[in-house]
Structure 1
Amino acid sequence: MTHRPGRRRGIAAIVLLVLGAVILGGVTVAKAVNPPARYSEGRAAGWQMAPTYTDGESIYLEPVDPGKLRRGDVVLASVPWSLEKTQMNRVIAVGGDHVRYRPSSKTSGQYRLVLNGDPLDEPYLEQWKNPSAVAFDVKVPEGSVFLMADNRMNSDGSQYANNGPVPAANVSAKVVMYPMAKLAVWGQVAGGLVLVAGAVLAFVSRRARRRAGAPVAADAAPAEPVAAGAAGEHAVAQP
């Protein structure tokens, strides 16, 4: 079974055009329904969040509602233990949580914080055996967050008695790996490029079909038939 020239390219062009339209339309609708938060770019200061973020590393910041802070969020907050206006820390516990640590005891063979009675898994820590340099036992008040840095042995935080939990209102922004606003822009660019690729492929496919349908010129013109009378005259011998 033979296929028309350009048929496969035509099918691929249709797929790309539909895919590009879906991507571009989906991102546009998503932005209209739930616009991504505006973000700002900055740089990490200090080594308190190592190894997750190192000094001078570029970071993306998005505004965050204090009531929507979640455990594990890396935030920029005004804290009493920093001489700077704000400092990066990680939310370990939120209002109503009970968090504690005993350096003399192990949980599941490792030293871990205990959050609401369960061992806290912290894969972001560089020093697994040292989740805290001091013991503590804190019930976080409503409207507050318990903040600790990732570099626990070389940083300050809510675990120290003279610091304690911080009001959630002190959090000015959340540090994100990649802002949704930037992802939305790249999504629109990707959708546009797929549409362009589909249009180009459709043009190539159409051109191939036109070439296949054009008449093919003969290599040489057919010889004209020889008249019977003339052939007979040549065949008869002259006296």
Structure 2
Amino acid sequence: MEHRPGRRRGIAAIVLLVLGAVILGGVTVAKTVDPPARYTEGRQAGWTMTPTYTNGESIYLEPVAKGKLRRGDVVLASVPWSLQKTQMNRVVAVGGDRIRYKPSSKVAGQYRLVLNGAPLDEPYLEDWKHPSGVAFDVTVPKGYVFLMADHRMNSDGSQYPNNGPVPVGKVTAKVVSYPMAKLAVWGQLAGALVMLIGAALAAVARRARGR
């Protein structure tokens, strides 16, 4: 059985038009129902977060939603151990956690922090063998976070007695790999592009059928 000229292009055009409409409509609806947080761009100052973030590296910042801070989050916070207005640190423990470290003993064959009785996996550290330069044993109060930098041997943090946990209210922003607001824009552009390709393919199919 012979296919009409342009039939395959026509089917492909319909598929692309529908796919593009779904992507564009889906992202637009999602943005309307749950608008992504506004973001700002900045630059990391210093080497305390290497190798995760290096000095001068561009970073994206989003507001911190109340109660949304989690272990492992990288944040900007006003901390007592920094002369700068804010400093980038990582949330290692949250309110209610017990975090401790003893330099003279190994856990599971390596030097590790112990979080709530279990060894803490920290693949982001600059030097895995030295997760802290000092011993500590702290239970983080509710409404506080325990902050440390990734380059532990070249930074200050909550592990030092004179510093301690930081109130959640002192956290000014969360550092994200890529802001949802920017992803949403790219999603809408992708949907529109797919629809344009589908429309162009539909026009080619119509011309083929008219020959």
TM-score by length of 2: 0.99
What SS does the aligned partner of 2:210 have?
Answer: helix
What SS does the aligned partner of 2:204 have?
Answer: helix
1:46 corresponding residue in structure 2:
46
Structure 1 stretches of 5 or more lacking a match? 212-239
Q: Note if 1:129 corresponds to 2:129.
A: yes
Q: Distance between the aligned counterparts of 1:127 and 1:10, measured in 2?
A: 58
The Cα offsets for residues 94-114 of structure 1, whole Å up to 9 and x where unpaired, read as: 000000001111111111100
Q: Distance between the aligned counterparts of 1:150 and 1:91, measured in 2?
A: 10
Q: How many residues align?
A: 211
Amino acid at match of 2:91: V
Q: Distance between the aligned counterparts of 2:33 and 2:66, measured in 1?
A: 22
1:23 corresponding residue in structure 2:
23
Q: Which has the higher contact order (CA 8 A, sep 6+)?
A: 2
Alignment of 1:48-63 (within 5 A): 48-63=48-63
Q: Note if 1:76 corresponds to 2:76.
A: yes
1:166 corresponding residue in structure 2:
166
1:138 corresponding residue in structure 2:
138
User: How far is 1:126 from its partner?
Assistant: 2.1
Q: Rg bigger for which structure?
A: 1
Q: Distance between the aligned counterparts of 2:141 and 2:194, measured in 1?
A: 51
What SS does the aligned partner of 1:184 have?
Answer: helix
Structure 1 runs of 4+ off > 4 angstroms? none
User: How far is 1:2 from its partner?
Assistant: 2.2
User: How far is 1:66 from its partner?
Assistant: 4.2
Q: Distance between the aligned counterparts of 1:166 and 1:207, measured in 2?
A: 68
2:151 corresponding residue in structure 1:
151
The Cα offsets for residues 124-172 of structure 1, whole Å up to 9 and x where unpaired, read as: 1121111111110000000000000000000000000110000000000
1:103 corresponding residue in structure 2:
103
2:34 corresponding residue in structure 1:
34
The Cα offsets for residues 175-217 of structure 1, whole Å up to 9 and x where unpaired, read as: 0000000000000000000000000000000100111xxxxxx
Percent same amino acid at aligned positions?
Answer: 81
- After superposition, the CA RMSD in angstroms is 0.7
Structure 2 stretches of 5 or more lacking a match? none
